[in-house]
Amino acid sequence: METKNQNIKLIECPRDAMQGLHDFIPTDKKINYLNQLLKVGFDTIDAGSFVSPKAIPQMRDSAEVFDSINWQDSQSKLLAIIANQRGASDAVKFDHISYLGYPLSLSETFQQRNTKRSIATALEDLAQIQELSIAHSKTLVVYLSMGFGNPYGDPYDASFVQDFVEKLDKMNVKVISLSDTIGVSNPENISWIFNQLIPKYPHIEFGAHLHSNPATIWEKVEAAYTSGCRRFDGAIKGFGGCPMAKDELVGNMVTEDMVAYFNKNNIELGLDQEAFAKAQELALEVFPS
């Protein structure tokens, strides 16, 4: 069967995998792991965050990590999560960071939990961050958390989601990733939301930042892929989950399983398989079992 090149972008998210862990991962161990990931051939590495160390203590060394990793010989781009203008100002100082990732929730309850501010205030902040990103030649990635519904009873329907996308479009945001956050998505609502958005906004790159238990990974990836999504976030071994949700954490999409899905469908990803295998082995040393 012919191999297909569908320009799939795999975003590996060690930052998401690490951020909720109680025990601090030594900085040199983070750097070593990221250096291995940079050899694999992922489109982008979500490598750290510039947020309050009180909120996410695990990420307090992100500046040192970005200073030290061997990014020069890698084709992978780097992404840093920021939650306010101060974090954005810190992140843009690094020339090798290509993307600033900003979490914007569709749920008012979760927005308050995650960033201690309202959605309205977050949107005002986001407009300023977009200006800063453009001024420093960074691409802003907005993560719409609770993107497939929420457990809090907050509003959610197609028109509600489109209202948010419309606001971001007016800010000239070019990349929007729909985030599952706590694993509430199913193949039907994944297909439904991407089929609503992708045809209407062809100039925006939509991504899928899904969480899942192992049994449903392939069907979720297939639902997003067949609906036109070409940008997928994951974490090796499925480590991670949002600590700010304060609900039972559901792991990130297992990168190996997503790779297996695309391989089975003869979709070329361009990964260095030897480096990928070494990264999987190293993950077992970085993360607790």
Q: What pLDDT is stored for residue 3 in this prediction?
A: 56
For residue range 72-92, what is the model confidence (pLDDT) as tens digits?
999 999 999 999 999 999 999
First to last CA, the chain: 38
Distance CA 72, CA 280 (A): 22
Q: What pLDDT is stored for residue 159 in this prediction?
A: 86
- pLDDT above 90 covers a percentage of the chain that reads 79
Are 62 and 29 a contacting pair, CB within 8 Å? no
Q: What pLDDT is stored for residue 5 in this prediction?
A: 55
Side chain identity, residue 167: K
pTM (global) more than 0.75: yes
Strand partners, 206: 176
